[in-house]
Each structure stands twice: as structure tokens, then as C-alpha cells.
């Protein structure tokens, strides 16, 4: 999926969830790609944040991810469980190659 396809997919979602991604997260992801061109994967979560593990109801969070494919970047968007220890976790994860 290209960057434009990702933006189109996010804009056509019919969701009122606080934990869904918008163009702001895609812009942040693109900025990180320029800053870290040697990364293996970059993931940006929705600013809605995470919830503690003891929260008993289902809670999902969306993220956008970029991975290098040959000479370009592949973009993807998914939903995952938002439960984290004490509700704390980074909203940006960056996997880099060891030097």
C-alpha cells in the first residue's frame, strides 16, 4: 500500500473511535521515515493511547506502519488490543538495523 492509498483508507473509515489514526499520524510517520531511512519498521499508534491491563472491557487501538520494500516503503494500517501494563507504552516504535 502506498502513502496515498493509506491516507484514502483512513479517511474513508466510518469510525468514531478516539483510538483511530488520522492524517496527522501519517504525517508523523512520513517525517520519521525521512529522519530514519535505515529503519526496518516504524509504527505510529493513535494518540488515543493505551489502557491498563485491569480494564475489563475490550479496547482496540489503530496504528500505521511503514516497512522498507526494495527501494520504497510499504504502508499498512491495523487495529490491535490497547491493553498495556499500567496503560503506559510508547506511541511510536522504531526498529533499526544494528550497526
pLDDT at 1: 73
For residues 91 and 85, is the Cβ–Cβ distance under 8 A? no
Residue with cell 525521512: 34
Whether the pLDDT of residue 40 is over 90: the answer is: yes
For residues 91 and 24, is the Cβ–Cβ distance under 8 A? no
Kindly state the percentage of the chain with pLDDT values over 90.
58
Which is more confidently placed, 97 or 57? 57
Whether the pLDDT of residue 67 is over 90: the answer is: yes
CB atoms closer than 10 angstroms to residue 13: 13
Tell me how far apart the alpha carbons of residues 20 and 63 are, in angstroms, rounded to a whole number: 8
Average pLDDT over residues 7-21: 75
In our burial notation (b when 16+ CB lie closer than 10 A, e otherwise), range 52-90 reads eeeeeeebebbbbbbebeeeebebebeeeebbbeeeeee
Amino acid at each position: 500500500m502506498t502513502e496515498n492509498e493509506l491516507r484514502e483508507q483512513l479517511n474513508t473509515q466510518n469510525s468514531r473511535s478516539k483510538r483511530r489514526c488520522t492524517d496527522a499520524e501519517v504525517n508523523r510517520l512520513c517525517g520519521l521515515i525521512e529522519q530514519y531511512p535505515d529503519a526496518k519498521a516504524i509504527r505510529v499508534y493513535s494518540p488515543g493511547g493505551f489502557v491498563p491491563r485491569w480494564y475489563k472491557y475490550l479496547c482496540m487501538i489503530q496504528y500505521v506502519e511503514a516497512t522498507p520494500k526494495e527501494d520504497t516503503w510499504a504502508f499498512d494500517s491495523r487495529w490491535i488490543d490497547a491493553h498495556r501494563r499500567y496503560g503506559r507504552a510508547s506511541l511510536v516504535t522504531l526498529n533499526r538495523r544494528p550497526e
